Amino acid sequence: MDTIEFQRVLALGLGRAVLHLADHDSSSYREIILDACLHNRAYDPQVEGSRATYMLDIIRGSRDASFYIDAVIRSLSDEAHDWDTPQRFELARQLAQDGNSLAREAMYSAFRAKELSASDVAVQFVELDGIQGLLFVAGQIGEQLARNPSQWEDDSLLFVAGEICGRDVVDAAISEASNTDENIKVYLTEVEKNLSSRSKTQRPDPKTLTYDQIRSIIESNRAGGVLREWAAGASDSELERAAHDLVHEKDPEKLKSYLKLFESVPAVVES
């Protein structure tokens, strides 16, 4: 397979690239693989999400794993596009779970230094270290909120953490920690304030909302965890309407909200 074809197959995320590396030298593809490790080359990352798991298979099949692993770890502190940062952190998290202590240390160091707050990055710490990971990122985000009161923080991280660790466990841990950690208290206060503000304009049970109401919430950019809860009980016809709006939406932030609707749906509904 020549480099042009390999780059095309890799960009498509096809298993053929992994199979090819099992029987061929990867040295001629080094720069192509490195680029795909550090940048999410999916045609539409908003739909496909991170390529981290796929790229880890590529790394392991390359016979030059240490080169790519070192590059990923170093990249965590670099500036990156919105779609690249989550992929880099997810790759590092999977490496840390495999026992790579340098990846773990780099994740924590980079999160502190870069002052990240995006839930798709923060949740990697919950995946890695459970409640302790959650308390770490909540404290870091709370410190940012204390310095920048205009920063918005919803309950997305807590919702996903609840799915990973258990809702009651998360609620108890974050509440207890807020009694002794001022930064976590700031974080929790901001989340609760925004939840309270949101509750004034929507029904308390997300499953009772119509799709028109959900669409209005998305338009207001104040969605949060309500989207996943609503989608879990939505009808096929409602999900079809949501899928139709998703493929026609152009605003990046609203696209992220539409995609959250389908995170709890077993299969994407075709529009």
As to burial, measured by CB atoms within 10 angstroms (0-12 exposed, 13-18 middle, 19+ buried), residue 8 is middle
pLDDT at 197: 65
In percent, the amount of the chain with pLDDT more than 90 equals 44
pLDDT at 35: 94
145 vs 45, higher pLDDT: 145
Lowest mean pLDDT among 6-15, 148-157, 203-212, 251-260: 203-212
- DSSP-assigned states of every residue in 235-268: -HHHHHHHHHHHHH---HHHHHHHHHHTTT-SSP
User: pLDDT for 225-269, tens place per residue?
Assistant: 677 778 877 888 888 888 888 888 888 888 888 887 777 666 544
* The overall pTM is greater than 0.75: no
Contact between 174 and 197 under an 8 Å Cβ cutoff? The reply is no
d(CA 128, CA 132): 9
User: pLDDT for 93-145, tens place per residue?
Assistant: 999 999 999 999 999 999 988 777 677 889 999 999 999 999 999 999 999 89
Confidence of residue 79 (pLDDT cuts 50, 70, 90): confident
pLDDT at 148: 85
d(CA 211, CA 217): 10
Q: Is the pLDDT of residue 4 over 90?
A: yes
d(CA 42, CA 62): 20
